[in-house]
Each structure stands twice: as C-alpha cells, then as structure tokens.
C-alpha cells in the first residue's frame, strides 16, 4: 500500500489529494504543499521510498528564479552517498543548503534524486536554453530553461518546432513525442514531478513584489495555443498534472510579497488548475 500521505507527518508539509477525470474514470493525484523550496528534496526522497522508484526523477518546475547555484565540495561529499538516509538528508537540507533556496537543484542531482530539470516561468528570464552539470557519482545531468509558459507552443518554440534540429535532442530528454496532430509525452516516459514555486506568478511594481492579478492569470491560462492536443495553456498544465508522479507547491511567501500575496497566488492556482480542491 502506498503510504505517501505520511509525508504530512513531517513539519511544515501539507498533503492533499486532487481528484480528476481521466479516460472516463476518477483518478487522484498527490499534491504536497510546503514553505521552503529546498524541502522538495525531502519530498523526492519520500516519493522514491514509497513508490519504489529506483531511478532519479525528472523535475518540471515553475519558478521566478533558477535555483541552480553551486554547493560546497563538503556538501557534495555528504549528499552523494549511495545509501543516504532520510535523517542524513534532512540535516543537509535544513542546515547546510543555502536558506535563500538557490542551490537545491544541484544538491538534488548530487543525491541522485533529480535527473534532468526543466524550468518554466511566467515571464522571460535571461538564461541559456541548456546547462549541463557533471555530478560527483551519478554522471551528467541536464538543466533546460524552456522560457515563458504562455508562449511555449508558439511558432518556433521548443515543443512546437519540427524544423529545429536542436529541439530533437531536447525532446528526447523531455520525453516528448512531436506530431502535428498528437504532440504529447511518449509512453513510459521517465517519471517526473511537477513543481510550482508560487513566486513564479508574482511580479514587481515600484520595487514591491505582488501577486499577478487573478484576472490576468485567467486570461493567460486560457490563452489559445497552437497544438492539436491542447486548446489552452491551462489544458496543457492539467495534462502535466495528470502525467506527473506527484505535484509539489512551494509557498515561499517572502518571495511573493508576503503572506497575503502568496495566499492570493495560491487561491488563483488552486481555482485554475485544481478546481478549488486544495483549499478545502
């Protein structure tokens, strides 16, 4: 029996179930809500233990920041142990990783919890498309920046450009089967977690971070996209939710403009993607 719900016994972690229709039947998805982004490493560890996943996990993440800073050689040595226990991992995550939450991705790669990482945003970041990272023990990992999610399927974008030879290598990493009539993940795609950092849906006005107004998010989520399978950004994101192992949501209110702004973003995302079930 899958006991993933026991993750909520840990401090500052909330476990929810999202119910949806899939192929005419009811299905459920685990959703884990927490505060500091580096906590996701504890969740990924728990996921592998309870789902008996014997490989590292791809991460599709929405974030306003890259969180791809280096970690110290001492931390790499500790976190790359092949038989790392949950208690050992917790100590590293809590006390050795940066409290600014900007180095957890490489830490997760060194722990072999994260395979490849795919970053999406709600506004353009000045980042290269691909960065490769060579871990101490687990080989080379890839970090892709896919850009602004609202334009992901526009002309000549990475999920929608059959003429770009560079996209084919990315599609292999992303597990994407491009077809003019049926673009979607390949069967038996590498397991992945879908992650939302709520600060992705904040913006800066007059040096203050605030939540992007819900009506603007609604317009963007309902934006039509140029794809046979998906009629809107919202439709695509719901597909990612359904295909993921679990969904994680990082509140990180200090980067959203405060508790009230983070709550506004959470309510909007809950309504737009989870039918309001997470707030119950």
Domain boundaries, the chain: 4-274
Q: At what angle do helices 259-274 and 233-243 cross, to 10 degrees?
A: 90
Q: How far apart are CA 132 and CA 7, in angstroms?
A: 31
CB atoms within 10 A of CB 48: 18
pLDDT exceeds 70 at position 164: no
pLDDT exceeds 80 at position 222: yes
CB atoms within 10 A of CB 267: 15
Sign of the Cα torsion 174, 177, 178, 181 reads negative
Averaged pLDDT for residues 29-40? 97
Going by pLDDT thresholds of 50, 70 and 90, the confidence category of residue 19 is very high
pLDDT exceeds 90 at position 17: yes
Q: What is the pTM of this model?
A: 0.95
Q: How far apart are CA 22 and CA 29, in angstroms?
A: 11
Averaged pLDDT for residues 66-85? 95
pLDDT tens readout for residues 245-278: 999 999 999 999 999 999 999 999 999 999 999 9
Averaged pLDDT for residues 179-190? 83
Q: How far apart are CA 136 and CA 45, in angstroms?
A: 19
The 8-class DSSP code of residue 37 comes to G
Going by pLDDT thresholds of 50, 70 and 90, the confidence category of residue 169 is confident
Q: How far apart are CA 269 and CA 86, in angstroms?
A: 30
Averaged pLDDT for residues 69-78? 97
Taking alpha carbons only, the member of 86, 91, 93 closest to residue 108 is: 93
| Contact (Cβ atoms closer than 8 angstroms) between residue 37 and residue 104 | yes
pLDDT at 272: 96
Q: What is the mean pLDDT of the chain?
A: 92
pLDDT exceeds 70 at position 165: no
The 8-class DSSP code of residue 12 comes to T
């Amino acid at each position: 029996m899958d006991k993933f719900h026991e993750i909520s016994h840990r401090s500052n972690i909330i476990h929810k179930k999202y119910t949806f229709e899939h192929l005419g039947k009811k299905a459920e998805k685990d959703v884990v809500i927490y505060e500091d982004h580096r906590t996701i490493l504890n969740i990924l560890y728990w996921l592998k233990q309870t789902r008996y996943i014997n490989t590292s996990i791809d991460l599709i993440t929405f974030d306003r920041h890259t969180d791809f800073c280096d970690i110290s050689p001492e931390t790499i040595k500790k976190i790359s142990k092949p038989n790392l226990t949950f208690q050992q991992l917790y100590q590293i995550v809590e006390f050795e990783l940066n409290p600014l939450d900007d180095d957890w991705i490489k830490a997760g790669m060194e722990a072999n919890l994260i395979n490849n990482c795919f970053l999406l945003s709600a506004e353009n970041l000045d980042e290269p498309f691909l960065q490769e990272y060579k871990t101490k023990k687990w080989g080379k990992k890839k970090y892709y920046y896919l850009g602004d999610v609202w334009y992901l399927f526009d002309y000549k974008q990475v999920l929608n450009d059959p003429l770009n030879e560079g996209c084919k290598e990315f599609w292999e990493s992303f597990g994407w089967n491009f077809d003019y009539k049926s673009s979607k993940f390949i069967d038996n795609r590498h397991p992945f977690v879908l992650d939302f950092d709520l600060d992705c849906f904040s913006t800066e006005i007059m040096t203050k971070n605030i939540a992007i107004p819900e009506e603007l998010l609604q317009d963007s989520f309902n934006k039509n996209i140029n794809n046979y399978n998906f009629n809107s950004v919202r439709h695509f994101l719901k597909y990612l939710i359904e295909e993921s192992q679990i969904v994680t949501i990082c509140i990180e209110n200090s980067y959203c403009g405060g508790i009230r702004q983070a709550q506004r973003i959470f309510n909007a995302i809950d309504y737009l993607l989870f039918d309001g079930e997470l707030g119950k």
